[in-house]
Amino acid sequence: MKETIIFESIKGEEIIIPISYNHIVQAMIYGNLSSKLGEFLHNEGFRKEKRTYKMFTFSRLMGNYNLDKKNGIIIFNNPVKLIISSPYTDFNNSIGYKLLSSEKIQLGNNEVTVKEVKVERERVSGKEIEITTLSPIVAYSTLFRADGKKFTYYFNPHEKEFSEIINRNIKNKYEAFYNEAPPEEDVEIIPVSRMKLSVVKYKDYIIKGYTGDFILRGPTPLLELGLSAGLGCKNSQGFGCVEIK
């Protein structure tokens, strides 16, 4: 399920946030969940062996803006749009209720209010959809250099490992969330437009992902889960949010 939220500054001022703002939006989301749910997702999540999944993702902030690279900020004019996506009903109900009922919400250093919340459940019929990214899709693996030191390699959509990681990730999410084996058929993701590399700083880390249009093929339940929970890695940090084109 996707919730499209329209924010406005309470004082009618511009909304100013750092260029690297993913952690700010993530903190706003956790801060507007019930304490019990927020604690569960933050500390536990849904588990598949040693891996945990928060089962939500979010888009980039959207709206009219000016980019001030010198000062490292984005200056948004009112309003600002954000899409939050999750298959978890408790999450959707909690965030939707809190956002609508709160007179004031903290978004970084900005005091904002919610002008509108629109809820949409994307349905998939068949085994193929065309999607577009609302935030970069991340697929990575931890590898070893010749000297034995670890490093993180981020795959691009034209490398076969990119699709393999997307497939493995979404099957793990399915098993963790539904507590049952996923469909056996694999998910395949195929780039169909020019891919754009996004290099995002999240707190003290650099994360690389790709935006563009893709064909997504596979079992319908897995496609629907990918649409709602996000594709690839680091979804709860604001990556892998997609929609049907």
Under a CB-based contact definition with an 8 Å cutoff, are residues 91 and 56 in contact? yes
Q: Is the peptide bond before 79 cis (omega within 30 degrees of 0)?
A: yes
User: Regarding predicted confidence, which is higher, 78 or 227?
Assistant: 227
Q: How many CB atoms sit inside 10 A of residue 67's CB?
A: 10
The answer on 230 and 160 residing in a single domain is yes
- Per-residue confidence (pLDDT) for residue 12, from 0 to 100: 87
pLDDT digits (tens, 9 = 90+) for 26-53: 999 999 999 999 999 999 999 998 899 9
Structure token digits, residue 85? 């996506």
Q: Given pLDDT bands bounded at 50, 70 and 90, which one contains residue 166?
A: very high
The answer on 83 and 48 residing in a single domain is yes
Structure token digits, residue 55? 């089962």
**Token match 């992902």: residue?**
209
The answer on 239 and 206 residing in a single domain is yes
Which of 120, 147, 169 is at the close of a domain?
120
88 CB-near residues (< 8 Å, 6+ apart)? 55, 56, 177
Mean pLDDT of 92-110: 93
- Per-residue confidence (pLDDT) for residue 147, from 0 to 100: 84
User: Regarding predicted confidence, which is higher, 103 or 175?
Assistant: 175
Dist CA 159 CA 74 (whole Å) = 33
Give the type of residue at 194.
Answer: R
Mean pLDDT of 175-199: 97
The answer on 11 and 115 residing in a single domain is yes
Structure token digits, residue 167? 């497939």
Looking up residue 7, the CATH number of its domain turns out to be 3.30.70.1890
Q: Given pLDDT bands bounded at 50, 70 and 90, which one contains residue 164?
A: very high
Looking up residue 170, the CATH number of its domain turns out to be 3.30.70.1900
Mean pLDDT of 198-224: 96
Domain that holds residue 223: 128-244
- Per-residue confidence (pLDDT) for residue 138, from 0 to 100: 98
Structure token digits, residue 147? 């000297």
pLDDT for residue 78 is more than 90: no
Which of 66, 97, 120 is at the close of a domain?
120
The answer on 230 and 145 residing in a single domain is yes
pLDDT for residue 148 is more than 90: no
- Per-residue confidence (pLDDT) for residue 172, from 0 to 100: 97
CA geometry: angle 200, 160, 55, nearest 5 deg: 50
40 CB-near residues (< 8 Å, 6+ apart)? none
Q: Given pLDDT bands bounded at 50, 70 and 90, which one contains residue 218?
A: very high
The answer on 105 and 137 residing in a single domain is no
The answer on 132 and 116 residing in a single domain is no
Mean pLDDT of 119-128: 93
The answer on 156 and 232 residing in a single domain is yes
The answer on 153 and 83 residing in a single domain is no
pLDDT for residue 144 is more than 90: no
> Exposed/middle/buried for 62, CB within 10 Å: 0-12, 13-18, 19+?
middle
Residues 40-49 as b/e (b if ≥16 CB within 10 A, e otherwise) read bbeeebbebe
The answer on 114 and 143 residing in a single domain is no
Mean pLDDT of 183-189: 97
Which of 120, 137, 172 is at the close of a domain?
120
The answer on 197 and 116 residing in a single domain is no
- Per-residue confidence (pLDDT) for residue 143, from 0 to 100: 87
Under a CB-based contact definition with an 8 Å cutoff, are residues 184 and 218 in contact? no
Under a CB-based contact definition with an 8 Å cutoff, are residues 117 and 96 in contact? yes
Q: How far is CA 186 from CA 62, 161, 202, in A?
A: 33, 13, 31
Indicate the number of domains in the chain: 2
Considering the entire predicted model, what is its pTM? 0.95
The answer on 108 and 72 residing in a single domain is yes
